Amino acid sequence: MKILKRILAFLECIAIVFVLASECSTQKVNAQPSRLRQKPVSVDVVLYNFDDEYISLVKQGLEEIQKQNEGKVVFEFFDGKGNQAIQNEVIDEIIRKGRSDVLLINLVNTQDTQQVIDRVKNKNIPVVFFNREPVAIEPIKDYKKSYYVGRDSKEAGRLQGEILIDLWNNDRNFIDKNNDGILQYIMLQAERTSIEAQERTEYSILTINESGIKTNQLALSISNWKRDLAKDAISNLFLKYGTQIEAIIANNDEMAIGAVEALQGYGYNKGDKSKTIPIVGVDAIVEAQEFVKKGYMAGTVIQDPYEMAKAAYTIGMNIFQGNDPLYGTQYKPDETGVAIRLPYTKYISSNNS
């Protein structure tokens, strides 16, 4: 009988040890996901060019988001230096290291969407393209973990046109200096192949013409979004056209500011209304806002860089977490179903309103 009791006691001890070991094992398995959840989400941001003023403001917006979410997300920024080959190398290196949870990409070459997606989809990395609109949307549709955050470039052009229409209607003598009823203008277009640049260019003039104002394009200069190229272009074009120029329309503020600097070299656009050629831009960067207040520029179009940063980040995190890209937001998809368009607004001097 004693032997039987000892056997039963021994078996009971074994059972207790087994249960304790099992519980310990279960606790370890359950603890691992908890530790993973505590790890900050790694977001790699591949930018078109650090030197671009607007993009630098988007970068600052993302840095502010990281401060607001300390311990939850970590951004690392990479400069494409305006060169798609460099940007591709950066993306390849990010993938090789295998530590990226989310990619936010501001493309250099907007025709390279498919090549970029081909690089990331084998690793199943969520990718959000933003700001520079891809030429083709199909690659984004085909990869379920991708999205685009941008704006309606047509709207930017329309608002530029409206600024000049208001000037024409409120003070025609200021803008129609030769009183011929035709707006003679120079267009500073960013890139030939950029949808964004093409639409801003087209719809600014279309809007003016639809208002009943006739237009005559004196020249179109491709200035690649850059201040120095626009400055050189306007410096040369002013020598050719001089006071025939009644307006300058620039696809972005950097080029608009370059135009101001060129005209100031000839004594124009320094605050004397009688020696001012109306110039409009897009972005409403701080320097452009100051130029508008001083009367050096007629106006610009606001695209909030922080809103761009917030939208790209929020959508990227939603995809990473397995949610619908627009979960918990007020954003609405456009007709493609894989993009949102953030709104623009006009920025003008109170003297022009």
Q: Is the pLDDT of residue 14 over 80?
A: no
DSSP count for the chain of H helices, then E strands: 12, 12
Rounded Cα gap, residues 42 and 97, in angstroms: 12
Whole-number percent of the chain with pLDDT over 90 = 83
Does 182 share its domain with 293?
yes
Does 127 share its domain with 158?
no
Rounded to the nearest integer, the mean pLDDT of the chain is: 89
Does 195 share its domain with 230?
yes
pLDDT of residue 352: 61
Assigned token pair, 39:
């790890």
Residue 351 lies in a domain: no
CATH at residue 283: 3.40.50.2300
Q: What is the DSSP string of 197-232?
A: HHHHHHHHHHHHHHTT-EEEEEEEEE-TT-HHHHHH
Q: What is the band of 12 on the pLDDT scale with cuts at 50, 70, 90?
A: low
Overall average pLDDT of the 300-306 stretch: 95
Q: What is the pLDDT of residues 57-115, one digit of tens each?
A: 999 999 999 999 999 999 999 999 999 999 999 999 999 998 899 999 999 998 889 99
Distances 189 to 36, 58, 197, 242 between C-alpha atoms, Å: 48, 22, 6, 20
Residue 20 lies in a domain: no
pLDDT of residue 150: 95
CB 125 within 8 A of CB 145: yes
Amino acid (one-letter) located at 254 = E
Overall average pLDDT of the 264-269 stretch: 97
pLDDT of residue 79: 97
Q: Is the pLDDT of residue 232 over 60?
A: yes
Q: Tell me phi and psi for residue 289, to 5 degrees.
A: -60, -40
Q: Tell me phi and psi for residue 334, to 5 degrees.
A: -80, -170
Residue 284's domain comprises 154-302
pLDDT of residue 351: 67
CB 331 within 8 A of CB 323: no
Compute the chain's Rg from CA coordinates. 28
Domain stop point among 269, 286, 302: 302
Residue 287 lies in a domain: yes
Report the b/e string of 184-208 with b at 16+ CB within 10 A. Answer: bbbbbbbbeebbbbbbbbebbbbbb
**12 burial level (CB within 10 Å; 0-12, 13-18, 19+):** exposed
pLDDT of residue 122: 87
The residues, any chain, with a CB within 8 Å of residue 216's CB and separated by 6 or more, are 182, 183, 184, 185
pLDDT of residue 166: 97
Q: Where are the alpha helices (DSSP H) in 39-137?
A: 53-68, 84-97, 113-121
Overall average pLDDT of the 326-330 stretch: 96
CB 190 within 8 A of CB 225: yes
The residues, any chain, with a CB within 8 Å of residue 168's CB and separated by 6 or more, are 175, 176, 183, 213
Does 285 share its domain with 323?
no
pLDDT of residue 2: 46
Does 103 share its domain with 165?
no
Does 75 share its domain with 207?
no
Assigned token pair, 173:
């003598």
Does 161 share its domain with 298?
yes
How many structural domains comprise the chain? 2
Does 231 share its domain with 178?
yes
Does 174 share its domain with 248?
yes
